[in-house]
Amino acid sequence: MILLAACVDRINFDTPNDVEQFVVEGMISNEPGPYTIYLSKSFSNRLPSRIRKPVVDAQIDLYQDGVKIDTYTEQDDGVYLTSPSTLGQPGHTYHIVVRTKDNVELISEPELLHEPGDFDNIRYAFQPGEPDVFNIAIDSKPADAGGYMRWRVNGIFRVISFPKNAIITLPSLEEIPGPLPCSGWRWTGFVFEQFGPCTCCECWITDRESTMHISDAFFQTPSGYRQVKVGEVKITPRTFYDKYRVEIEQLSVSENAHEFFRQVKGQADGVGSLFQPSFGAIKGNIVSNDGRAVHGLFWACGVTRQNFFLYKSDVPYEIDPIDTIPDNCNVVGEATYNQPSFW
């Protein structure tokens, strides 16, 4: 009876009503535009199916050194683009002014577009794990004394699939052949017939970075950063079915942008950790005229990039054959059916 009575009392309390807050994501660089702004509102945790609530019909102006140089055009709900001819220039400051149809005005702090600097001595090293990876490292040479950097490693690889082998499960749970139309094959009920070429058997997949890499002043030397890890490439039968193109981007950012990314990275890296830091609002650089909090960042950066290929022969063992996916090859990830010009 004592054990049954030793319960934890329920505590009831009122929670404040949800307040919609604006979320702004955008940047400008020294590379050709168009540049994109994503404008949305935060959603209620009572509506888990609503991932994003875009803000439409807003006017967004881009300023260089306090002078308006372009107005964004809404391409999709909440997605705004500059004109293709707009180009950021190092040594100049940039900010945006957003005016919504509800007469809310959002203004970002001016961001200096820094020179991109340079990097060399690209190295890759095999590291066993689950999965095995190649660690990518460089020597970075910031152009500015502060040396606030962010690095991104993205990749492109080729895969094949076998949509001819797709099946259909009937209500009786019987399975019958169901080749996809894009496979160029059909099932007559008795035999397979080919009526055309396969248009979805071969894809080139864009592999985005999964972990943010930013500079740490503790490791900066008078000549820059040496042997700094900027990313990794997973070794799987899919990523190395053919070869893997590695693209390294070096982004020279402001101190404010660097601090924003540092906080984002800290929260992302801390999820699930025993020593996870306490979460809080991450301070951006955008304010509103009605006093409400605004999340996100409009940032400027100088970009320099290099690329190279990793081959099957770089892997210190024989890779298993690619799995026979009975589906459209675009199920693997962010895909295109068009062979890149550099392949």
Q: List, for residues 3-62, the tens digit of each pLDDT value.
A: 555 555 666 655 555 567 899 999 999 999 999 999 999 865 555 545 669 999 999 999
The pLDDT score that the predictor gives to residue 49 is: 47
Place of tokens 């009920």: 189
In 3D, which of 115, 136, 116, 118 has the Cα closest to residue 127? Answer: 136
Task: Please report whether residue 320 resides in a domain.
Answer: yes
Q: What are phi and psi of 5, to 5 degrees?
A: -85, -15
Residues 243 and 233 in one domain: yes
Whole-structure pTM value: 0.84
Task: Please report whether residue 206 resides in a domain.
Answer: yes
Residue 194, helix vs strand vs coil:
strand
Domain count, the chain: 3
- Say if strands 294-311 and 243-252 run parallel, antiparallel, or are unpaired: antiparallel
Q: Is the model more confident about 172 or about 233?
A: 233
Task: Please report whether residue 57 resides in a domain.
Answer: yes
**Structure confidence at residue 276 as a pLDDT band (50, 70, 90):** low
- Residues for the chain: how many in total? 343
Residues 147 and 274 in one domain: yes
- Is the sign of the CA dihedral 110, 214, 232, 246 positive or negative? positive
Residues 293 and 322 in one domain: yes
Task: Please report whether residue 9 resides in a domain.
Answer: no
**Preceding amide of 34 cis, omega within 30:** yes
Least confident span in 63-67, 120-124, 171-175, 231-235: 171-175
Residues 105 and 25 in one domain: yes
Residue 328, helix vs strand vs coil:
coil
Write the DSSP symbol of residue 266: H
Q: Is the model more confident about 132 or about 223?
A: 132
Residues 270 and 211 in one domain: yes
Residues 69 and 147 in one domain: no
Domain with residue 66: its CATH number is 2.60.40
Task: Please report whether residue 3 resides in a domain.
Answer: no
pLDDT in tens, 189-233: 889 999 999 999 999 999 999 899 999 988 888 889 999 999 999
Q: Identify the burial level of 284 via C-beta atoms within 10 angstroms of its C-beta, where 0-12 means exposed, 13-18 middle and 19 or more buried.
A: buried
Q: Which two tokens stand for residue 254?
A: 């402001």
**323-332: b or e for each residue (b if 16 or more CB lie within 10 Å)?**
eebbebbbeb
The pLDDT score that the predictor gives to residue 258 is: 94
Residues 189 and 150 in one domain: no
Residues 178 and 151 in one domain: no
Write the DSSP symbol of residue 313: G
Q: Which two tokens stand for residue 88?
A: 């950021």
The pLDDT score that the predictor gives to residue 150 is: 96
Task: Please report whether residue 341 resides in a domain.
Answer: no
Residues 90 and 167 in one domain: no
Residues 94 and 178 in one domain: no
The pLDDT score that the predictor gives to residue 142 is: 92
Task: Please report whether residue 134 resides in a domain.
Answer: yes
Residues 255 and 128 in one domain: yes
- To the nearest 5 percent, what fractions of the chain are helix, strand and coil? 10, 40, 45
Cα–Cα distance measured from residue 231 to residue 138, given in angstroms and rounded to the nearest whole number:
10
Task: Please give the span between the terminal C-alpha atoms of the chain, in angstroms, as a whole number.
Answer: 74
The pLDDT score that the predictor gives to residue 223 is: 85
pLDDT in tens, 149-167: 999 999 999 999 999 999 9
Cα–Cα distance measured from residue 87 to residue 30, given in angstroms and rounded to the nearest whole number:
6
Beta bridge partners of residue 234, listed in sequence order: 133
Structural domain that includes position 78: 17-112
User: Is residue 333 within 8 Å of residue 207, measured between CB atoms?
Assistant: yes
Residues 143 and 183 in one domain: no
Task: Please report whether residue 6 resides in a domain.
Answer: no
Single residue among 48, 83, 112 that ends a domain in this structure: 112
Distance between alpha carbon 141 and the CA centroid of its chain, in Å?
Answer: 25
User: Is residue 48 within 8 Å of residue 71, measured between CB atoms?
Assistant: no
The pLDDT score that the predictor gives to residue 279 is: 55
The pLDDT score that the predictor gives to residue 92 is: 97
Single residue among 93, 112, 131 that ends a domain in this structure: 112
Percent over 90 (pLDDT), the chain: 74
